[in-house]
Amino acid sequence: MTHAVHEINVYVEIGAKRTFAGALDWPGWCRQGRSEAEALQALCDYGPRYAGVLRAAQIEFQPPADTITFAVVERLTGNATTDFGAPDSTPTSDHDPFTDADLQRSQKLLQAYWQAFDNAVQAASGKTLRTGPRGGGRDLERIVSHVLGADVSYLTRLAWKHKPGNAEDLSEELGHTRQAILRALAAAVRGEIPKQGPRGGAIWPPRFFVRRVAWHVLDHLWEIEQRAGPPG
């Protein structure tokens, strides 16, 4: 008996040095390579790991067996941020209206990602993370601090005013910032996010905001797992 293969719509962001491939309907599942083919293969390779994150939250997802499952529906031009190592171009569909259903699904996905990240941090606590051949790589506390700082920065791209809480307790501050993210997304559904920032800066569409927050936390979740686990 054969099972029908469901295509997964992806977009590709092409920079001068790096290319990202991301699943449009699964924000956060996005990987990079030196070419489109490499990026698509990396996305496929991380499918089982992504499925594990969702499985823990009882979200149904079937990882692809091969890149043939992917349907590239859009190719975007990257920029300096792309080449630095972060997806930064907005897929056309991310400009679609952000509805109550989108909010509920985004909340569920983000909470699954956050829980997986917290679990990885807890599992790696007390361990020395492996460094690169030149000794590079943040330690665990700095990774957590970096993710927190990025989330705070991302909130400004929705023109959301966020007042930091207890900066000395990273876990508490992460929770505080995550609640702000969920409140900002709820405000987006109500149409309360301005078209421009207070100084005329660009505002991210809510869908892209979710996509960027999700990619960043998953990227560092998988970094922690890889550097804390056995070599190989």
Those residues with Cβ within 8 angstroms of residue 221's Cβ, 6 or more apart along the chain or in another chain: 53, 113, 116, 117, 120
Domain 8-89 and domain 96-228, same fold? Reply is no
Which whole number is the average pLDDT over 166-175? 83
Task: Note the residue count of the chain.
Answer: 232
* The predicted structure's pLDDT at residue 134: 55
| 3-state SS class at 103 | helix
CA triple 77-110-161, angle to 5 deg: 80
Q: Give the residue extent of every domain in the chain.
A: 8-89, 96-228
Model pLDDT for residues 26-36, shown as the tens digit of each residue: 999 999 999 99
Instruction: Check whether 164 has a pLDDT greater than 90.
Output: no
Give residue 136's pLDDT band: very low, low, confident or very high (50, 70, 90).
Answer: low
pLDDT mean across residues, the chain = 92
CA-to-CA separations, 48 to 66, 161, 177, 217, in angstroms, rounded: 12, 37, 29, 17
Model pLDDT for residues 7-46, shown as the tens digit of each residue: 999 999 999 999 999 999 999 999 999 999 999 999 999 9
* The predicted structure's pLDDT at residue 2: 41
* The predicted structure's pLDDT at residue 39: 98
Give residue 198's pLDDT band: very low, low, confident or very high (50, 70, 90).
Answer: low
Query: Sheet containing 19-23: which strands, arranged edge to edge?
Result: 30-33, 19-23, 8-14, 70-77
CATH of domain 96-228: 1.20.120
The share of the chain scoring above pLDDT 70, in percent, equals 93
* The predicted structure's pLDDT at residue 50: 98
Instruction: Check whether 1 has a pLDDT greater than 50.
Output: no
Instruction: Check whether 97 has a pLDDT greater than 70.
Output: yes
List the one residue out of 20, 19, 21, 23 whose CA is nearest residue 9: 23
Per DSSP bridges, beta strands 8-14 and 19-23 are antiparallel
The residue assigned the tokens 């960027």 is 212
The share of the chain scoring above pLDDT 90, in percent, equals 81
Instruction: Check whether 85 has a pLDDT greater than 90.
Output: yes
Which whole number is the average pLDDT over 159-184? 87
Asked if CATH classification 3.30.160 holds for the domain at 8-89, the reply, yes or no, is yes
